[in-house]
Amino acid sequence: MSGPRALFAIYVVLIAVGLAAAILIGASGR
Amino acid sequence: MRRLARENSLGLVFLALFLVALVLQAVAGHAAYDDEQAAHGEPGISLWTYVSSSAFAVSVMENWQSEYLQFTLFIVLTVWLFQRGSPESKELDARGRESDERQRVGRHAGSDSPWPARRGAGIARALYENSLLVVMGAIWVASWFAQSLTGMVEHNAEQVQHRQPELSWLAYVGSGDFWQRTLENWQSEFLAVGSMAIFAVYLRQRGSPESKPVGAPHDATGVEG
């Protein structure tokens, strides 16, 4: 995997995980 | 390996800065949260409990949404709006979505163009033509929604502490707390983007693509260094 492609994937995963975690935390009322 | 790091240093350094700042935000936020708890005569919580709480999540999400709104707006508004003399603006004669020739799509695409650009007009190309806007906009909407959920939980915890009634999600998104958290971030982004676009007309940073070349005239629009 090329450098930019790997970084693209890392950023996408990081953002998706962050958004999903925040939505789950909010939805669970924690 | 060295070449890989050098060629990707911008993405790598910002990634590292993000991770370090997020960890520091968690540590500082946890300390502040525990101070507040102590002031109310309540017990402290662990760092992990804090990090997985709405109190932490809302402060992360409110900043995410405003940053992504900033870039979403910047991407879409620069298609139609200009700033004479700014490297952030395109040339004054290129208003709108521009010709296929200029955008190198369809029969004007090269053999090294991304495959959707080589397609004729259709769903795949339309999606790819707007993919940066769509993705940045989707992250903005999702993080703003996440801010509303975690903000509601955090606000309601405070309401309970003060023996006040809890708000529904709909009531919360109409509340002062939600809009205060939202707008305190928006105003700073709008100011920063607007001033950056204008400052770059007259000011320079030698070597930065965010600036015009040092010797470029103030009147030159859409020129990057």
Quickly list DSSP for A1-30. --HHHHHHHHHHHHHHHHHHHHHHHHHTT-
| pTM for the model | 0.94
Task: Give the pLDDT confidence of B102-137 residue by residue, as tens digits.
Answer: 999 999 999 999 999 999 999 999 999 999 999 999
> Is residue B97 over pLDDT 90?
yes
> Could you tell me if A23 lies within 8 Å of chain B, comparing CB atoms?
yes
What is the average pLDDT across B5-16? 96
Predicted complex ipTM = 0.95
pLDDT grade for B1, boundaries at 50, 70 and 90? confident
Nearest Cβ partner for B54 among A4, A10, A30? A30
Q: What is the DSSP annotation of chain B?
A: -HHHHHHTHHHHHHHHHHHHHHHHHHHHHHHHHHHHHHHTTPPP--HHHHHTSHHHHHHHHHHHHHHHHHHHHHHHHHHH---TT-TTS--TT--TT--HHHHT-GGG--TTS-HHHHSPSSHHHHHHHTHHHHHHHHHHHHHHHHHHHHHHHHHHHHHHHTT-PPPPHHHHHTSHHHHHHHHHHHHHHHHHHHHHHHHHHH---TT-TTS--TTS-TT--S---
Q: Which residues of chain A have pLDDT under 70?
A: 1
- CB-neighbour burial class of residue B143 (10 A; exposed 0-12, middle 13-18, buried 19+): buried
Relative orientation angle of helices B131-161 and A3-27, to the nearest 10 degrees: 30
Residue B155: is its pLDDT beyond 80?
A: yes
Task: Report how far apart, in Å, the C-alpha atoms of B89 and of each of A4, B139, B210 are.
Answer: 26, 24, 11
Choose the closest CB to A25 out of B11, B54, B143: B54
Q: Which of B35-44, B57-66, B150-159 is predicted with the least confidence, judged by mean pLDDT?
A: B35-44
The closest CB to that of B153, out of A4, A14, A30, belongs to A30
Question: Shortest CB distance from B8 goes to which of A4, A19, A22?
Answer: A4
**pLDDT band at B176, cuts 50/70/90?**
very high
DSSP notation for B70-103: HHHHHHHHHHH---TT-TTS--TT--TT--HHHH
What pLDDT is stored for residue B99 in this prediction? 93
Tokens at B160, concatenated: 């309970």
Cβ contacts of A4 on chain B, cutoff 8 Å: 8, 11
The structure tokens 């529904």 sit at B168
Q: Which residues contact B97 (CB under 8 A, 6 or more apart)?
A: B79, B103, B129
A24 touches chain B (CB under 8 A): no
pLDDT at B224 over 80: no
Residue B166: Cβ within 10 Å count: 14
pLDDT over threshold 80, residue B225 = no
Residue B23: the pLDDT is 98
* Confidence class for position B40, pLDDT limits 50, 70, 90: confident
Contact between B182 and B65 (Cβ < 8 Å): yes
Two structure tokens written together for B154: 């955090």
Counting residues of chain B whose pLDDT is more than 90, the rounded percentage is 92
pLDDT at B44 over 80: yes
Cβ neighbours of residue B37 under 8 Å, at least 6 residues apart? B43, B44, B45
Average pLDDT, rounded, for chain B: 95
Chain B interface with A: residues with Cβ < 8 Å: 4, 7-8, 11-12, 15, 18, 52-54, 57-58, 60-61, 64, 139, 142-143, 145-150, 152-153
